[in-house]
Amino acid sequence: MKVTTRFAPSPTGRVHVGNLRAALHNWLYARQQGGRFLLRIDDTDRERSEERFVDAIRADLGWLGLDWDGEARQSERFALYEARFEQLRAAGRVYPCFETPQELELKRKVQLGRGLPPVYDRAALTRGDAERARLEAEGQRPHWRFKLDHDAPIEWDDLVRGPQRFDPTLMSDPVIRRADGSWLYHLPSVIDDIDLGITHVVRGEDHVSNTAAQVQMFEALGAKPPAFAHEALLTGAEGKLSKRLGATDVDHWRETGVEPLALAAKLARIGTSLPVEPVASTAPLIERFDFATFGRAPARFDEAELAKLNAQTVHLLSFAQVADRLPAGMDARAWEAVRPNLERVSDAAEWWHVIEGPIAAEIGLEDRDYLHTAAEAAARIDWSADPWHALTGALKDTTGRKGKPLFLPLRRALTGLDHGPDMAVLLPLIGRERALERLQAAAG
């Protein structure tokens, strides 16, 4: 069967960095295996789901460079859920429950007080048909649970966590449908995974207990469960789960100048034995993706490290990759000249201003005569080849200066700064006329 993965966000808010990591890993594996990556919008919660968040999910995935091969929306699949629900009901694998939330909470407190696990006691199964009919006649609507099979342990070989084993007698039968008829996460997700042919599910380790219940749902519907990979959760730099990090959406990364490739490189590799390193495309991330490299320890996400990785990524980007974000008139030669000095692509605008001018240079009195000589030398040299070395060579012979006293006043006069790109590549961009004007102005 062709490898098929999916990303299944709920459109009740923005996608944060942990969601993006799961989406990326599903995409990387599908692309590596020549398979399919699907987007499933889990919008069964009609009250909280908003179309603006659906649009934002698509935009955020697109920004990260993730494309998908098909899209499904749970709100359009209710008839399928109803049919499968009736199939389970006929098989005795779902049952109605009439306890109120308050009654269930009281039961849990009593069990905990006795030192027992707070597992649902299946009291609803003791109600006869007549009692159920009476309760419904009184206006009470039941919620529905999936009846776990207690005869055998639940087992699967997780692609990250290894062999998993759960005792179903220590688990509560999961609620799959509310009293108002709306669906909870468990059953629709299983039905969709079967119907869409999902072969692999990559998600956070906080879903492990959900998977245990869902394995039996797959089997009850006559389907083989997909392969599961439960990856360790992200932590902040402070070493614990970060609320701020969990609330950070794509707009934050976009607004702070983080490159999608930098974030992808970070999320693809943190928590694995592979090095986090800059890439110019997703090809290396796809090629080396391997569940065997995933660790069990929480993955540390450090924004300072991301900033460093971002600068390294910018230094790899071609002109074609950034052309639409550069100042008007900035060409490939200028981009390649300033690129090694950038932390963000947007910083290129500052260097383009240095090239185009006007600039303000602060020059000490002790360097003014030197710069006057430099202006005269600049007027005589050949600008068609390597004007910077021609200029500094002439000045070294004329003035006897070398090192910092030779180079720094020139850089300051020509750019207004004491640092920056290699002057050998920058000076030709500034050009003869602007260079002469700047040296003459600096000489007073």
Show me where the domains of the chain are located. 243-314, 357-443
- pLDDT value of position 47: 87
DSSP state of 264: H
- pLDDT value of position 54: 96
- pLDDT value of position 129: 85
- pLDDT value of position 137: 87
Measured CA to CA, the distance from residue 141 to residue 135 in angstroms comes to 8
Stretches in the chain below the pLDDT threshold 50: none
Whether a cis peptide bond, with omega within 30° of 0, leads into 358 is: yes
DSSP state of 72: E
Main-chain phi, psi angles of 198, to 5 degrees: -70, 125
Token pair, residue 266, equals: 């970070």
For residue 129, with 0-12 CB atoms within 10 Å meaning exposed, 13-18 middle and 19 or more buried, which class applies?
A: exposed
Assess contact for 28 and 184: CB atoms under 8 A.
no
Q: What amino acid is encoded at 27 in this protein?
A: W
DSSP letter for each residue of 35-53: -EEEEEE----TTT--HHH
Three-class DSSP category at 392? helix
- CATH number assigned to the domain with residue range 357-443, chosen from the 4 options 1.10.10.350, 3.30.590.10, 1.10.150.120, 1.10.3720.10: 1.10.10.350
CB atoms within 10 A of CB 8: 23
Nearest to 234 by CA among 8, 16, 30: 16
- Report which secondary-structure segment, H or E, holds 108: helix 101-113
Q: What amino acid is encoded at 442 in this protein?
A: A
- pLDDT value of position 169: 96
- pLDDT value of position 241: 53
Nearest to 148 by CA among 166, 173, 167: 173
Spell out the residues 6+ positions from residue 122 whose beta carbon is closer than 8 angstroms to its own: 173
Over the stretch 186-216, which tens digit does the pLDDT of each residue have? 999 999 999 999 999 999 999 999 999 999 9
Domain 243-314 CATH class label: mainly alpha
CB atoms within 10 A of CB 229: 21
Token pair, residue 80, equals: 């399928």
Main-chain phi, psi angles of 361, to 5 degrees: -115, 130
- pLDDT value of position 243: 52
Asked if residue 243 belongs to a known ligand binding site, the reply is yes
Contacts of 242-245 with CB under 8 Å at 24 or more apart are: 242/301, 245/16, 245/17, 245/18, 245/301
Q: Using DSSP bridges, classify how beta strands 234-235 and 299-300 pair: parallel, antiparallel or unpaired.
A: parallel
Measured CA to CA, the distance from residue 203 to residue 188 in angstroms comes to 17
Measured CA to CA, the distance from residue 205 to residue 222 in angstroms comes to 26
Nearest to 253 by CA among 268, 273, 240, 267: 267
Q: Using DSSP bridges, classify how beta strands 227-231 and 200-204 pair: parallel, antiparallel or unpaired.
A: parallel
Over the stretch 205-252, which tens digit does the pLDDT of each residue have? 999 999 999 999 999 999 999 999 999 998 876 665 555 565 678 898
DSSP letter for each residue of 122-175: -GGGG--HHHHHHHHHTT---EEEE----SS-EEEEETTTEEEEE-GGGSPPPE
Count CA atoms within 13 Å of residue 197 on its CB side.
12
Three-class DSSP category at 300? strand
Q: What amino acid is encoded at 19 in this protein?
A: N
Q: Residue 53 to residues 57, 90, 166, 343: CA-CA distances in angstroms? A: 6, 37, 36, 31
